[in-house]
Amino acid sequence: MVRRVTQTIFVLLCLCASAPPLEAQLTRFTTVVIDAGHGGYDRGGIPSQRIPEKVMTLDVSQRLKPLLEKAGYRVIMTRDSDVFVPLPTRVAIANSYPNAVFICVHFNSATRSGANGIETYFYSTESAPLAASIQGAVLGGAPSENRGVRRRGYYVLRRTTIPAVLIECGFLTNPTEAQYAQSAAYRQKLAENIARGIRNRPALAARTDFTNRSSRVDVGLQPFYDQRFMRDSSSKHHKGSKSKKKRSSSKTKHKSTSSEQ
C-alpha cells in the first residue's frame, strides 16, 4: 500500500515537473483564424479607391497565412477568395476552433482626409494582450500614428469565444496611408509584423500604450456593410442605445460607426 502511494506521488511529481508554466498554458494556442474584412459585393473603404479595401484585406491575410504556417500554426481563413461572408458565419468559423485566436484585418476610413494612424480593437479581457502585441509590432514597421489599443463591442469581437482582435491598418482616406496601402511591398510588411505580434504576444504587450476607449472614437469610421450592427435578441438595451446614437449623431459631423458591431 505504502509502495503504491509512493509510486503515485512520484508519477504526479513527474507530471508537474514536465508540465509547462501556467502562463505558457494560458497563452498557448495552435490555430490562428484569419478574417479578411469585406468581400464579394462589399468593396469596403471608399468607392473611388483604385484598389478596393476588400482586395487589400484579402491580400494581407493571404500573405499572413504562410508566415504563420511556417511558424508552426494551423491557419484557417474565413474567406480565401472574393466572396461575401456574413457575420454569423465568420464568428461560427472562429468558435469552432477552441484552441485558437481570431485576427480580423481591415483598413480604416474617415470623413477627414487628415485622419491617420493604426489602431487595434479588442473586446474581452483575454484579448487585450494579443491586441497590444499586434499593435506594437505593426507600429514598429509602419510610418503611421499610434491610435492605440481600444476596447469596442464589435460583433466579431463580442460574439467570439476565443481571443479576438481587429486591426485597422491605416486610413484609405488619408493620401499618404492610401499610397502605402496600395503597395504590395507595404502589405507584405504589414503581414510580417502582424505575424510577429501574434508570435511574440507576451514580450511585446508590455511595450504598447493601452487605452480603453469604449464610448467614443476620435473620427467617424466608415460603415462596413459586412460588419454592420447586429442586435442580440436576448438583450434589451439596444433600443435605448440606438436612440442615444441618433441624438449624438445630430451633434457631430462624423459618420456613424456601424462597422464590426
The pLDDT assigned to 48 comes to 74
Q: Domain map of the chain by residue range?
A: 28-249
pTM of the model: 0.71
pLDDT, average across residues 97-113: 94
Does position 260 have pLDDT exceeding 60, yes or no?
no
Q: What is the pLDDT of residues 74-85, one digit of tens each?
A: 999 999 999 999
Does position 138 have pLDDT exceeding 90, yes or no?
yes
Confidence band, pLDDT 50/70/90 cuts, at residue 183: very high
Does position 235 have pLDDT exceeding 80, yes or no?
no
Q: Which CATH number fits domain 28-249: 3.50.30.10, 3.60.20.10, 3.40.630.40, 3.20.20.450?
A: 3.40.630.40
The pLDDT assigned to 7 comes to 53
The pLDDT assigned to 27 comes to 47
pLDDT, average across residues 139-154: 89
- Torsional class of 35: left (φ above 0), alpha (ψ -120 to 50), beta (otherwise): beta
The pLDDT assigned to 135 comes to 95
Which cell goes with 230? Answer: 447586429
Q: In what order do the strands lie in the sheet with 74-77?
A: 74-77, 31-36, 100-108, 164-171, 118-122, 146-151
